[in-house]
């Protein structure tokens, strides 16, 4: 069975394991106050071209989303998100468990846009009974989105503009950020994101680390006491250096981007194969997740050799499925898949 | 500087890193549903002599405590704990953040006893206005305690008896369980604990793993839907096999206990040195944490070469400090420390 | 200005005030443990034809909804509700503040139906990744709905059937229950509701009391410790008898239904006037709330003499508005309104 | 049976009922936006000599405490309180249910003092591991305390000074404030309290109203969006004017203070009787609650004719009990009680 169902099916890039082994016997301070974390913070700040950002390392995405959102909102506020957003549908209500509603907006393509955020804000503040409603308190988006789509710089600038105007903090979930940054036609850079968002994270778990997310806080008012929040939500890793060492390794020589590029190149090969056979796609994704629409028979056929995820029913007889690639996806496996795609009856 | 301030200052036992490297390129299912986790579960169930227990792997202690306690209590209930309990003072109010009060009881030696639990329960149910009070809903204890003390089998049996009688689930935090199980005069075994507690965990983070806690649920009524709780609290590691591989390695050949024994042996050497010089101790600890009471001058002297934690003021001029050992504590460092202890002016 | 914007613009039926005055100097036990509450409970149980129900009195609707829902759900569960449900949009996220997601379903007419509830349930349990989703844990509906529509017995039976089959508790918010029970074509009775729901309440605040909701719990498993929940959520009125006295007065001689009938009769007069002029309605409501669709000019004209609520935009030029009647609505005011409706240009 | 067990055993002062009856048929806006509330706010601001305070009316004390505290604290913060504080022991964990720990301090006489607050603050900020601890985020005290004791102006000034210095908001629970303000030797005034506290409330429920607490917010930063918080916690009374009318009646001509004076005078008679017989008291209370220490036989004897509360065991054979008076306590009943006290065997 060849696995394409997710981008966290393997361990980590071997360089990471080597660095963990090399440093294994050193004794350091715990909870992220060691030199490796400090150095990783420096590197990330440099890449983001922001000297003043706070950088924290957390273990996973749900934990990071919960910790950030609960730290920003006051009790009567909710977080604006695409209805397809990870926090709205794939975290077992973790945000609500901290007391806050997810204000879910329908989208055409899994991306929020500036004007719909503005509309939510204005409708709220124009309502004479607004005290009976949840107040929109911040905006959450993911890039790439859960469906592999990326924001253009202009789109993010427009959202930033609305957020700035209405004083809504903007939080970008970058669990798969690497794949977005290296995608064809992407025009967003880390410094752009650092400038346009109040807080965001660079995902490690799904981009070649064992685990870990690097959270970057650029808005001064959100920096205060943040380590308390991490601890309270169970995210302060005792051996924090494990995170520092990983992010050092990922970013000191561009390994992170190399791995993302490999994964995206593999995904494009898969995409092109489906395309050439005339398959439709749920979304036009330039990143490591591809969502071709297959019939039941086609699914059955491919499922004999490959694992992939059933994503969503498109109509009675068709389902969008997800093929994922990663740093560890072997080209030989992709070539075999392509051959099988090309032989699928359409 | 030689570090004795905690038991999580190093990485992990080299065997663990080796196993992670060996398995690194395998592709497995995520979220703990892989074969490594399954096998680690089998091993742990066997060691605990309980075929029917559910075993889950979480990343850290605060996360585990929060997830378990919030899964058991109903909204009006609180958890009974020693005032010195980790959940009461070292988790930034994580339990309260899930909506529950910690019903903290004073103790003489950091251990709860059966009769004080019974008294709390009876006082509550005898109060005619009890609906205005937090109802005691479960009991939390740690073994060893935060101050290195261990429960005797008879003590745990008595607590179990009271809990059973009053239908209070009993939860044992075993973040340092290994050190307790190998301590001199310990008479508690894993099967005992599995029989006497409704839920408990075997700590990895502080006993030689990179990270991870193995949660064992023996009470059927607490098993239902537990993976939802783990996910909601941010504890469901995407690459769950990292935990399975570690616990397999720790328990398939007794490595866990070997490491604990080494750490305790080192701690006993330190204890004996302080003893021989006539130092008092905050608690009589047979485990890897030692709490001698030092004067300011003594602290200053030892702090020149060693790191250790200032634990609690004992009187105006004396402070109890904590020396911790681990699987990686080198005997040569301990010998140097002993020499310095013996030369401290008392 | 003649007020039609809500059904809580006045005090209470004079008989209620008289009874409060008559009993004012008596000294009773607090917190609902007095004889007036006890008697009101007996009367309500008799009307519901259920000897074993628990009856509690709370002050308001949001409080009651929050207390009930948080008492039933476990942390990973959410409450299924119509998207238009009060808990979803008019309680400032009170349910989320207790940690639970509202699983909001779109509806055509503000009513849930059995098959959509079944679909939600089955989709959840058929999802292999369901542990990442909020589990549907109970069903909330209101009768009449927020838009004045009532459930037929058969509809509630079907919903009850699905809930029973899937073990989902069914909670009916009856903040305006009186108006539903006396509506033309209504075929639901209090005993029906008591039989079909696990818990429901009979609203006083919006049906002629000063304030208060009578909560009826028929499901044994939800009765336990309920007074703790009321106290914790701030709903245990110190002078609880104020609630007992009111509900005694409302139900001992049918005053509650007399008031509801008056209000509905007034509403039907208003409805008929709009109808005769050819106005559309947002919903076909047989209860005390009417939602005619007006143009901006028509709104402007009527707003000169009457207050009513702007409910929702229907299209660029039309808005559904709400006219509410109550026990205290004077027929002379209604006649004046009718005259003005009949003279509105359409 | 003559009831002395609490100060909420009767209805309300007859003037309040009269005013409710007079205004009963008026139609007003809901949720506290009517003219009666507006006028009551003006009166209260004038009495407090603060033109800029926000005044809100809530139904009960637990609700008010919860709403205020949850609106001020950030997730990692707790509220400093006397261990005997109402929020710590008589609200079924309502504060914890909003996610926050009560940092309970032992007291000698149920009052906090400035230096112990300062110590808590300094210990927290001097702890190098403070991120693992709950951060003290505000101070809660009640005046009179739950045990009837009052703060002197100098004491409150000192507490205010510490709170100001460390930027800790100060919240005063005045559920029984009236009794404190009229107590012998009291030197605190409403304007003092408004100046020294960031937020406080003037209790109605326990001082002659049917129900209701008038919350006064003087700190600008806490005023924002407060009505959302009230709604979310279930405290926004639909017929809000019921609160406005009551507080207008209580404060427009001093009725509130007249009632408090009567109750305190009655309490002093009871106190003097116990004193003259040589009874000890749990606390020296100049307010409407008296806590004599009685033997079991004495309790049994008095309990034949009077209800009073068993407060706390003092030793094996003695219990402190509570006698409460109110605006409605009849002097003839007090005289009978006194006679019986004087005949008790001591």
Classify D339 as helix, strand or coil: helix
- Average pLDDT in the B84-94 region? 96
Classify D87 as helix, strand or coil: helix
Choose, out of B239, B244, B323, the residue to mutate when testing the contact with A (most A CBs < 10 Å).
B239
Residues of chain D with confidence (pLDDT) below 70? none
ipTM > 0.90 for the complex: yes
Which residues of D are less than 8 Å from B102 in CB distance? 101
Cα–Cα distance for residue pair B197/B72, rounded to 1 Å: 14
A42, A55 Cβ separation under 8 angstroms: no
Category of A105 on φ-ψ map: left (φ > 0), alpha (ψ -120 to 50) or beta:
beta
Instruction: List strands edge to edge, sheet with A199-203.
Output: A54-58, A213-217, A199-203, A170-173, A135-142, A77-82, A102-105
Chains B and C: how many Cβ contacts under 8 Å?
A: 47
Cα–Cα distance for residue pair A63/A60, rounded to 1 Å: 6
Query: Is D98 an interface residue toward A (CB < 8 Å)?
Result: yes
- Average pLDDT in the A42-50 region? 98
D77, A232 Cβ separation under 8 angstroms: no
D25, C11 Cβ separation under 8 angstroms: yes
Residue B307 has pLDDT above 80, yes or no: yes
Choose, out of A74, A127, A134, A227, the residue to mutate when testing the contact with D (most D CBs < 10 Å).
A74
Query: Is B132 an interface residue toward C (CB < 8 Å)?
Result: yes
Nearest CA-CA distance, residue C299 and chain A, Å:
17
- β-pair type (B102-105, B170-173): unpaired
Closest CA to A59 of A203, A190, A169: A203
Residues forming a β-bridge with A81: A104
Cα–Cα distance for residue pair A180/A148, rounded to 1 Å: 8
- Average pLDDT in the A92-104 region? 98
Closest CA to B100 of A310, D263, D92, D160: D92
Cα–Cα distance for residue pair C278/B216, rounded to 1 Å: 69
**In the 8-state DSSP scheme, what is residue B34?**
S
On the CB side of D275, how many CA atoms lie within 13 Å of its CA? 10
The residue of chain A nearest to residue D222, with distances taken between CA atoms, is: A74
Contact flag C96-A91 (C-beta cutoff 8 Å): no
Cα–Cα distance for residue pair C57/C40, rounded to 1 Å: 10
The whole-number pLDDT of residue D345 equals 79
Non-local (6+) Cβ contacts of B33 within 8 A are: B240
Cα–Cα distance for residue pair B186/C296, rounded to 1 Å: 82
Cα–Cα distance for residue pair C229/D97, rounded to 1 Å: 10
Residue C135 has pLDDT above 90, yes or no: yes
Contact flag D206-C24 (C-beta cutoff 8 Å): no
Please tell me which of the candidates C62, C92, C211 has its beta carbon nearest to residue D239: C211
Q: pLDDT tens digits for C188-242?
A: 999 999 999 999 999 999 999 999 999 999 999 999 999 999 999 999 999 999 9
The residue of chain B nearest to residue A61, with distances taken between CA atoms, is: B234
Which residues of D are less than 8 Å from B129 in CB distance? 90
- β-pair type (A102-105, B199-203): unpaired
Query: Is A236 an interface residue toward D (CB < 8 Å)?
Result: yes
**In the 8-state DSSP scheme, what is residue C134?**
P
What's the whole-number average pLDDT of chain A? 97
DSSP C15-45: HHHHHHHHTTT----STT-SHHHHHHHHHHH
Nearest CA-CA distance, residue B80 and chain C, Å:
18
Query: Is A128 an interface residue toward D (CB < 8 Å)?
Result: no
Q: Which of residues 73-92 of D touch B (CB under 8 A)?
A: 75-76, 78, 89-92
Closest CA to D76 of A172, A141, A236: A236
Cα–Cα distance for residue pair A294/C287, rounded to 1 Å: 49
Q: pLDDT tens digits for C115-130?
A: 999 999 999 999 999 9
Phi, psi of D17 (to 5 degrees): -60, -40
Any chains having at least 3 CB pairs less than 8 A from chain B are: A, C, D
Choose, out of C1, C11, C231, the residue to mutate when testing the contact with D (most D CBs < 10 Å).
C11
The whole-number pLDDT of residue D306 equals 97
- β-pair type (B306-307, C213-217): unpaired
Q: pLDDT tens digits for B98-157?
A: 999 999 999 999 999 999 999 999 999 999 999 999 999 999 999 999 999 999 999 999
The residue of chain D nearest to residue B62, with distances taken between CA atoms, is: D132
With a pLDDT cut of 90, the percent of chain B lying above it is 99
Q: Which helix (H) or strand (E) holds A97?
A: helix A94-97
Please tell me which of the candidates B97, B131, B132 has its beta carbon nearest to residue D75: B97
With the C-alpha atoms ordered D70, D74, D76, D77, is the resulting torsion angle positive or negative?
negative
Which residues of C are less than 8 Å from A75 in CB distance? 97
Cα–Cα distance for residue pair D78/D71, rounded to 1 Å: 12
D284, D309 Cβ separation under 8 angstroms: no
Under the banding of pLDDT at 50, 70 and 90, the label for residue A227 is: very high
Phi, psi of A70 (to 5 degrees): -65, -25
B13, B208 Cβ separation under 8 angstroms: yes
Residue C345 has pLDDT above 90, yes or no: no
- β-pair type (A306-307, B293-295): unpaired
Under the banding of pLDDT at 50, 70 and 90, the label for residue A276 is: very high
Cα–Cα distance for residue pair B241/B252, rounded to 1 Å: 16
C142, C175 Cβ separation under 8 angstroms: yes
Under the banding of pLDDT at 50, 70 and 90, the label for residue C178 is: very high
Q: pLDDT tens digits for A22-44?
A: 999 999 999 999 999 999 999 99
Contact flag B232-C76 (C-beta cutoff 8 Å): yes
A2, A336 Cβ separation under 8 angstroms: yes
The whole-number pLDDT of residue D346 equals 75
- Average pLDDT in the C75-82 region? 98
The residue to which tokens 């230096």 are assigned: D115
Chains A and D: how many Cβ contacts under 8 Å?
A: 46
The whole-number pLDDT of residue A90 equals 95
The whole-number pLDDT of residue D32 equals 97
C205, C9 Cβ separation under 8 angstroms: no
Query: Is D223 an interface residue toward A (CB < 8 Å)?
Result: no
The whole-number pLDDT of residue A210 equals 98
Which residues of C are less than 8 Å from B100 in CB distance? none
- Average pLDDT in the A279-303 region? 96
**For residue C277, what are its two tokens?**
């002029």
Under the banding of pLDDT at 50, 70 and 90, the label for residue B345 is: confident
Contact flag A231-B91 (C-beta cutoff 8 Å): yes
Nearest CA-CA distance, residue A232 and chain C, Å:
16
What's the whole-number average pLDDT of chain D? 97
Q: Which of residues 321-340 of D touch C (CB under 8 A)?
A: 328
Residue C25: C-alpha distances to residues C16, C35, C39, D30 (Å): 16, 15, 19, 29
Contact flag C233-D29 (C-beta cutoff 8 Å): no
Category of B72 on φ-ψ map: left (φ > 0), alpha (ψ -120 to 50) or beta:
alpha
Cα–Cα distance for residue pair B323/C207, rounded to 1 Å: 69
Phi, psi of B87 (to 5 degrees): -65, -25
Which residues of C are less than 8 Å from A322 in CB distance? none
- β-pair type (B54-58, B213-217): antiparallel
The whole-number pLDDT of residue A202 equals 98
D17, D242 Cβ separation under 8 angstroms: no
Instruction: List strands edge to edge, sheet with D54-58.
Output: D54-58, D213-217, D199-203, D170-173, D135-142, D77-82, D102-105
Closest CA to D324 of D340, D336, D307: D307
Q: pLDDT tens digits for B190-233?
A: 999 999 999 999 999 999 999 999 999 999 999 999 999 999 99
Residue A282: C-alpha distances to residues A315, B144, C143, D179 (Å): 12, 54, 40, 70
DSSP D226-255: HHHHHHHTT---TTTHHHHHHHHHHHHSSH
The whole-number pLDDT of residue B55 equals 98
Contact flag A232-D76 (C-beta cutoff 8 Å): yes
The whole-number pLDDT of residue C320 equals 97
Under the banding of pLDDT at 50, 70 and 90, the label for residue B344 is: confident
D28, D346 Cβ separation under 8 angstroms: no
Contact flag D135-A228 (C-beta cutoff 8 Å): yes
Cα–Cα distance for residue pair A131/D251, rounded to 1 Å: 28
Which residues of A are less than 8 Å from B25 in CB distance? 10-11, 328
Cα–Cα distance for residue pair C83/C102, rounded to 1 Å: 9
**For residue C154, what are its two tokens?**
């058969």
- Average pLDDT in the C319-346 region? 95
Query: Is D99 an interface residue toward A (CB < 8 Å)?
Result: yes
The whole-number pLDDT of residue A70 equals 98
Non-local (6+) Cβ contacts of B333 within 8 A are: B2
Nearest CA-CA distance, residue A60 and chain C, Å:
14
Say if residue B241 is exposed, middle or buried (CB neighbours under 10 Å; 0-12, 13-18, 19+). buried
C252, C43 Cβ separation under 8 angstroms: yes
Q: Is the peptide bond before B144 cis (omega within 30 degrees of 0)?
A: yes
Residues forming a β-bridge with C216: C55, C200
């Amino acid at each position: 069975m060849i696995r394409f169902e997710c981008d966290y099916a393997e361990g980590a890039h071997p360089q990471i394991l080597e660095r963990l082994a090399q440093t294994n016997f050193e004794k350091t301070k715990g909870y992220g106050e060691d030199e490796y974390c400090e150095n990783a913070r420096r590197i990330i700040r440099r890449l983001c071209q922001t000297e003043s950002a706070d950088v924290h390392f957390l273990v996973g995405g749900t934990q990071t989303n919960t910790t950030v959102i609960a730290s920003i909102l006051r009790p009567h506020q909710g977080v604006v998100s695409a209805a397809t957003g990870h926090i709205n549908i794939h975290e077992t209500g973790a945000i609500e468990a901290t007391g806050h509603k997810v204000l879910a907006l329908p989208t055409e393509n899994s991306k929020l846009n500036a004007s719909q955020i503005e509309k939510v804000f204005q409708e709220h503040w124009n309502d004479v009974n607004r005290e009976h409603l949840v107040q929109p308190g911040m905006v959450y988006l993911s890039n790439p989105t859960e469906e592999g789509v990326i924001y253009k710089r202009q789109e993010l600038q427009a959202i930033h503009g609305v957020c700035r105007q209405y004083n809504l903090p903007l939080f970008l979930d970058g669990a798969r950020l690497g794949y977005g940054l290296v995608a064809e036609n992407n025009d967003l850079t880390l410094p752009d994101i650092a400038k346009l968002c109040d807080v965001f994270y660079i995902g490690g778990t799904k981009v070649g680390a064992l685990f870990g997310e690097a959270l970057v806080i650029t808005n001064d008012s959100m920096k205060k006491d943040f380590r308390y929040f991490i601890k309270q939500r169970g995210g302060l890793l005792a051996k924090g250096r494990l995170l520092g060492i990983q992010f050092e390794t990922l970013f000191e020589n561009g390994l992170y981007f190399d791995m993302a590029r490999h994964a995206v190149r593999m995904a494009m090969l898969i995409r092109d194969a489906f395309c050439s056979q005339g398959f439709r796609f749920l979304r036009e994704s330039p990143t490591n997740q591809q969502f071709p629409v297959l019939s039941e028979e086609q699914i059955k056929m491919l499922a004999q050799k490959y694992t992939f995820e059933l994503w969503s029913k498109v109509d009675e007889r068709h389902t969008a499925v997800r093929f994922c690639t990663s740093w560890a996806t072997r080209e030989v496996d992709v070539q075999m898949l392509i051959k099988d795609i090309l032989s699928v009856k359409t």
